[in-house]
Structure 1
Amino acid sequence: MTTLISYPNKKLWMAAIKPPMYSVAIMPIWVGTAVAFAETRIFHGAVFSTFLASAILILAWENLSNDVFDSETGIDKNKHHSLVNLTANKALIFGLGNSCLGLGLLGILAIAWWQQDLTVIGIILLCCALGYMYQGPPFRLGYQGLGEILCFFAFGPLAVTAAYYSQTQSWNMTSLAASVFVGIATSLILFCSHFHQVKDDIAAGKRSPIVRLGTARGAKVLTWFTASIYPLNLLFVLLGIFPVWTLLSWVSLPFAFKLCNHVLQNHNQPEKVSNCKFIAVAVHFWSCLLFGLGFMLSGG
């Protein structure tokens, strides 16, 4: 017991639970709801709160189950902050993950029951299927370098449009356009998580984008994709699809510069570049938060 509460272990547990990463679950719901509010000036608080809690629980399932699946391939043998390694109890982590999934889906079912409409639960089940295919057997598509694509669709077009639909029970091109912004910003986080573990990925046969590209080229690709969300935002404003207030997202540019400079300088130094995913989380959090706020502040 003393060991569990020692300072180094506290740091490992925090690294394993990854609290900052849960903004990945929150922001698609926030942006989809903000787009709906901009158009209808109606906000269904119970639906939003339930969807938010469910999204966090479903992401917890994905994180926990990924730790379990990674423990089976041996890729996490040097990952001291893996929950399976910390607890030495794979069955417990798997059970906790499935419990989170069940509770999360119950919340989405509640929304479907309130609205007498199964559309949202259908979309979220598809998100869960993509989440499982990322690391789960026999698919393990993340090992083929397809994780970022799955991430883009699950947390972008699917999650954002589901959140929009949960508020309006209708479809809209603006929410789909907004979902591209969120999807790219989310995929950056996963892309950044590969830079520091190239050797472990190669040893486990994981062909992550950074394994395929190399760290130097990967750093350049990261710069282009990080930079893309800002002109994309501007383009949709100029086309009249987004309100001008969404340009508030540009306030997050300092985090984007910090991320790109940090990775370009340290891409081949695992101990220095390992924190880049948390800078990417800051880019994602602030850009999406301010982007959604822009919709909320618009006149509808």
Structure 2
Amino acid sequence: MVKSLVDSPELSPKTSRKLWMAAIKLPMYSVAIVPIATGTAIAYRDTGAINWSIFLTFLVSAILILVWENLCNDVFDAETGIDVNKAHSVVNLTGKKNVIFAIANICLLAGISGVLAISWLQQDLFVVSAIAICCFLGYIYQGPPFRLGYQGLGEILCFFAFGPLGVSAAYYSQAKSWSVGSLAAAIIVGIITSLILFCSHFNQVADDLAAGKKSPVVRLGTKRSAQLLPWLCGVIYAITIAAIICNFFPIWTAIVLVSLPIAWNLCTFIGENHDQADLLLNCRFIAVALHFVVGSGLSISLIF
């Protein structure tokens, strides 16, 4: 039985609001928006048209599916005890694990229904099949009996779900075809999304170790993980520049380079404080900012 923090007499209304905002993770929903926007933008560059009803349906569906994944992760983490010190877990805040799990599954059904509607309209099963695989990857990340995130495979699953599968599904929903440009964009989106998950491990190494979770940061150590960050960021910009040179992206995609100060801030902040868990609680939101700016720059440049 999970104890609720909502009715705790020691929890002030102001603190409660802050915990709920942290639990809802509104900025994190750019993770659902960017793959759909990017795939659609590339399709517009290739076809000169956007089906807005399909785009909006896909966007809402993606957000609902991400709500499912986030809520389920809180439920599954509550079962293993890894979130025992995580006050902003939705399960810890409410103490109602079964209710949260039910809400999560309602969101999943609603999200999948939207994707099914797109496939039905197009009389093509690719989009719903790709998103079904994304959901499967999302489940085996934390869900029993797999819990592959505990083996350090979360970033790989995240890369494929939000990158090659997510972006390609959005592109196909508009163009009903493939392109090298969409693959290049998918790799970029996959890396910047996985980067958020990677950065989220730095402040919870102790809890991960206690629960037996072998995240990449646990496996590599905080110092080597921090040293890896600049290389991961560098790959994002290298692929972008290469795609521009090869004319897969327009020259305007160089606007992505405005995110360099954010990448620098992320790498230096974690590099200097890699072993200071209390200072790194919000470093994932620097990664979210990087994700949003790179994804927005990519999408806007492809459209305009």
Identity %: 58
List per-residue Cα deviations over 1:127-179 (Å, max 9, x = no partner).
Answer: 00000010001110000000000000000000000000000111222111110
Instruction: For residue 236 of structure 1, report the CA deviation from its aligned partner.
Output: 1.4
| Count of residues in correspondence between the two structures | 297
State the secondary structure of the residue aligned to 1:12.
Answer: helix
**Partner residue of 1:191 out of 192, 198, 218:** 198
User: 2-side partners of 1:196 and 1:182: how far apart?
Assistant: 24
Are positions 1:175 and 2:179 aligned together? no
Mean Cα displacement is larger for which, 224-233 or 282-291?
224-233
Residue matched to 1:132: 139
Pick from 95, 98, 110 the counterpart of residue 117 of structure 2.
110
10-19 or 239-248, larger mean C-alpha shift:
239-248
Deviation at 1:88, TM superposition (A): 0.5
* 2:82–2:211 Cα contact (<8 Å) kept: yes
- TM-score (norm: length of structure 1): 0.97
Please name the residue that 1:278 is paired with: 285
The match for 2:226 among 219, 238, 247 is: 219
1:241 counterpart residue number:
248
* Structure 2 counterpart of 1:72, one-letter code: E
Letter in 2 for 1:10: R
Tell me, yes or no, if structure 1 residue 160 matches structure 2 residue 183: no
CA contact (8 A) 1:194 1:210 kept: yes
1:84 maps onto 2:91 in alignment: yes
Matched residue type, 2:290: V
From 196, 208, 211, the equivalent of 1:201 is: 208
* Structure 2 length-normalised TM: 0.96
Runs of 4+ in 1 over 2 A off after TM superposition: 1-5
Q: Distance in 1 between matches of 2:230 and 2:87?
A: 29
Q: Which amino acid aligns with 2:182?
A: S
| Mapped partners of 1:13, 1:41: distance in 2 | 42
Q: How far apart are residue 240 of structure 1 and its match?
A: 2.0
Q: State whether residues 249 and 286 of structure 1, in contact with CA within 8 Å, keep that contact through their aligned partners in structure 2.
A: yes
Give the gaps of 5 or more residues in structure 1: none
Mapping 1:4-23, distance limit 5 Å: 6-23=13-30
**What is the aligned partner in structure 2 of residue 289 from structure 1?**
296
TM-aligned CA deviation for residue 252 of structure 1: 1.1
Q: Hey, what's the Cα distance between the residues in 1 that align with 2:12 and 2:116?
A: 38
C-alpha distance in 2, partners of 1:258/1:177? 25
- Considering only aligned residues, what root-mean-square deviation do their CA atoms show, in Å? 1.2
Q: Deviations over 1:239-263 (max 9, x none)?
A: 2222111111111111111111110
Residue type of the alignment partner of 2:284: K
Return the letter of the residue paired with 2:198. Answer: F
Gaps of 5+ in 2: 1-5
Shift of 1:5: 7.6
2: CA distance, partners of 1:146 / 1:275: 22
The question of whether the paired residues in 2 share the 8 Å contact of 1:227 and 1:256 is answered with: no
